[in-house]
């Protein structure tokens, strides 16, 4: 393994060699965001365990950053770009602590991150804020790892090397990012895609309605006299899928809905905003009848007419997207606003909704599998008011349904007919949140 002369200490173990002993528990490993080529280069020097450790460190760092600086997030799928940046820092830092030269894929990978930020219109000050926050966060974790793994007699020297190495890596990354941001921003502003993106954002903000004919020409998409259906598509996996998968999913759904025109506006590399339109009202299919690429989710709005409908359908799709990414109980590959509009109202204030559901459900507020089965049976009954229909849906005997409903009444302490609407709403909230709700008894 190549190690620089400066990194050697003739009185003891090689300085920096402790990074090769870094490990992460198997249950805590996550899929990397970096390319296979870059990861293989890192493995040749660090070994698989240290690479896994760096990937997990970068994953936690990225989660911290998007919470601290929401502008870096940008929607579902987008943390992959942030993760790629933090992975580059983590891997390059460990390599430099071993005296290994700069990753050959560094500039290319930084370019991918910066390209994503530019195309999503992330302001440069937010990027620099993210770098400063990442520097401070990562430095503390590397200090801790050094204290736990470096030989005691070398720790003072190693801690100093960690501080100087992290600073050097971030300075190099800042310089490279600044140069690439300027270049990519220049290219982006002169592209047709940038023009379309600006027009779309103006329409969504109500700033482009003074000349809709010109806006339609720039978008190559008719705005007036047509019904518009908005779709938001994003990658769901830990690793970034292809952009072709996103466009294929969007086109498949829009065609199945009867759209004759389509408009796709990428939001970085992991998300696409899209619209489909026709002169006649559009009708979305049943998601079960449409086959979409794996690893892709869609959120769709309610089809509406003219430029107001263009904007309103997108607002609906954004609401469906937020629900799909915020509540683990909403699991469909396609989340239609028409299916979750009631939930959108119920969950507008999550704290209030959680308290309401816990109070209504009482003893049915439990993560116990048996109680969950009772809740599912009860919800289906309240939706259909037919034990026979519930039995068919759940593939059980009608007597089983009747028995479960009696059990639910016993746990609730009241008849199911007493407050059916409140009870159904509470069950919908509990299913969407998909975790035991905190009980808050009245004082």
CATH of the domain at 244: 3.30.70
Opening angle at CA 151, ends 145 and 155, nearest 5:
65
3-class state of residue 3 by DSSP: coil
Q: Answer yes or no: do 55 and 124 share one domain.
A: yes
pLDDT digits (tens, 9 = 90+) for 129-158: 899 999 999 999 999 999 999 999 999 999
CB atoms within 10 A of CB 14: 16
Dist. CA 271–CA 177, nearest whole Å: 22
Q: Quick one: pLDDT at residue 2? A: 38
Structure tokens at 96: 């430099």
Whether 370 is in a domain gets the answer yes
Whether 216 is in a domain gets the answer no
Domain termination site, one of 287, 319, 345? 345
Closest CA to 75 of 443, 328, 326, 334: 326
Q: Quick one: pLDDT at residue 439? A: 62
Domain termination site, one of 290, 314, 345? 345
Dist. CA 130–CA 149, nearest whole Å: 28
Contact 53, 44 (CB under 8 A): no
* Chain centroid offset of residue 372 CA: 27
Per-residue pLDDT averaged across 323-335, rounded?
A: 94
Domain termination site, one of 345, 372, 395? 345
Q: Answer yes or no: do 263 and 337 share one domain.
A: yes
Instruction: Residue 400: give its domain's CATH number.
Output: 1.10.10.2840
Closest CA to 363 of 355, 373, 371, 351: 371
Q: Quick one: pLDDT at residue 75? A: 62
Whether 440 is in a domain gets the answer no
Q: Quick one: pLDDT at residue 7? A: 41
Dist. CA 87–CA 108, nearest whole Å: 14
Structure tokens at 281: 């009202």
Q: Determine the length of the chain.
A: 443
DSSP 335: E
DSSP string covering 13-62: SPTTGGGGG----GGG-----S-HHHHHHHHHHH-HHHHHHHHHHHHHHH
Q: Answer yes or no: do 20 and 168 share one domain.
A: yes
Q: Quick one: pLDDT at residue 106? A: 80
Dist. CA 53–CA 141, nearest whole Å: 11
Q: What are phi and psi of 419, to 5 degrees?
A: -135, 65
pLDDT digits (tens, 9 = 90+) for 269-287: 788 999 999 999 999 999 9
Per-residue pLDDT averaged across 173-189, rounded?
A: 85
Q: Answer yes or no: do 114 and 168 share one domain.
A: yes
pLDDT digits (tens, 9 = 90+) for 63-96: 898 888 888 876 665 567 888 899 999 999 999 9
Instruction: Residue 22: give its domain's CATH number.
Output: 1.10.490
Dist. CA 324–CA 319, nearest whole Å: 9
Q: Answer yes or no: do 35 and 9 share one domain.
A: yes
pLDDT digits (tens, 9 = 90+) for 204-248: 988 756 688 889 988 989 999 999 999 999 988 755 567 888 999
Whether 89 is in a domain gets the answer yes
- Domain boundaries, position 382: 349-433
> What total number of domains does the chain contain?
3
Whether 67 is in a domain gets the answer yes
Per-residue pLDDT averaged across 319-333, rounded?
A: 94
Dist. CA 255–CA 252, nearest whole Å: 5
Q: What percent of the chain has pLDDT over 90?
A: 61
Tell me the β-bridge partners of 336. 300
CA distances from 79 to 91, 181, 238, 269, 401 (A): 18, 18, 9, 11, 44
Q: What percent of the chain has pLDDT over 70?
A: 93
Structure tokens at 234: 């994003």
Q: Answer yes or no: do 10 and 154 share one domain.
A: yes
Whether 428 is in a domain gets the answer yes
pTM to 2 decimal places = 0.68
Q: Answer yes or no: do 292 and 404 share one domain.
A: no
What count of Cα atoms within 13 Å lies in the side-chain half-sphere of residue 64? 18
Q: Quick one: pLDDT at residue 111? A: 86
Q: Quick one: pLDDT at residue 241? A: 64
């Amino acid at each position: 393994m190549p190690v620089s002369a400066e990194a050697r200490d003739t009185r003891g173990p090689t300085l920096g060699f402790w990074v090769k002993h870094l490990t992460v528990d198997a249950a805590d490993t996550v899929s990397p965001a970096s390319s296979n080529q870059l990861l293989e280069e890192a493995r040749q020097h660090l070994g698989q365990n240290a690479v896994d450790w760096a990937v997990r460190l970068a994953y936690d760092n990225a989660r911290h950053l998007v919470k601290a600086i929401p502008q870096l997030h940008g929607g579902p799928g987008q943390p992959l770009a942030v993760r790629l940046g933090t992975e580059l820092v983590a891997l390059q830092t460990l390599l430099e602590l071993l005296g290994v030269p700069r990753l050959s894929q560094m500039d290319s990978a930084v370019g991918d991150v910066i390209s994503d930020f530019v195309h999503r219109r992330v302001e440069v000050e937010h990027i620099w804020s993210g770098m400063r926050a990442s520097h401070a966060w990562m430095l503390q974790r590397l200090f801790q790892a050094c204290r736990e793994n470096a030989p005691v007699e070398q720790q003072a020297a190693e801690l100093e090397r960690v501080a100087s190495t992290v600073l050097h890596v971030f300075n190099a990354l800042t310089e490279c990012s600044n140069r690439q941001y300027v270049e990519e921003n220049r290219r982006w502003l002169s592209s047709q895609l940038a023009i379309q993106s600006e027009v779309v954002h103006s329409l969504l903000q109500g700033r482009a309605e003074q000349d809709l004919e010109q806006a339609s020409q720039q978008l190559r998409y008719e705005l007036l006299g047509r019904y518009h259906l908005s779709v938001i598509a994003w990658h769901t996996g830990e690793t970034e899928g292809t952009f072709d998968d996103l466009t294929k999913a969007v086109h498949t759904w829009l065609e199945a809905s009867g759209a004759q025109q389509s408009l796709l506006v990428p939001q970085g590399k992991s998300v696409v905003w899209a619209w489909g339109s026709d002169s006649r009202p559009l009708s979305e299919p049943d998601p079960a009848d449409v086959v979409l690429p794996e690893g892709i989710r869609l959120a769709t709005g309610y089809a509406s007419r003219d430029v107001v409908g263009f904007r309103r359908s997108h607002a609906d799709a954004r609401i469906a997207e937020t629900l799909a990414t915020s509540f683990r109980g909403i699991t469909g590959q396609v989340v239609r606003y028409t299916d979750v509009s009631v939930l959108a109202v119920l969950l507008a204030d999550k704290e209030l909704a959680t308290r309401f559901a816990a109070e209504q459900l009482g003893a049915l507020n439990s993560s116990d599998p048996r109680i969950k089965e009772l809740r599912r049976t009860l919800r289906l009954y309240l939706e259909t008011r037919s034990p026979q229909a519930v039995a068919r849906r759940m593939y059980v005997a009608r007597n089983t349904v009747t028995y479960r409903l009696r059990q639910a009444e016993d746990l609730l302490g009241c008849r199911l007919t007493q407050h059916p609407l409140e009870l159904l709403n509470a069950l919908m909230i509990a299913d969407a949140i998909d975790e035991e709700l905190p009980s808050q008894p009245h004082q």
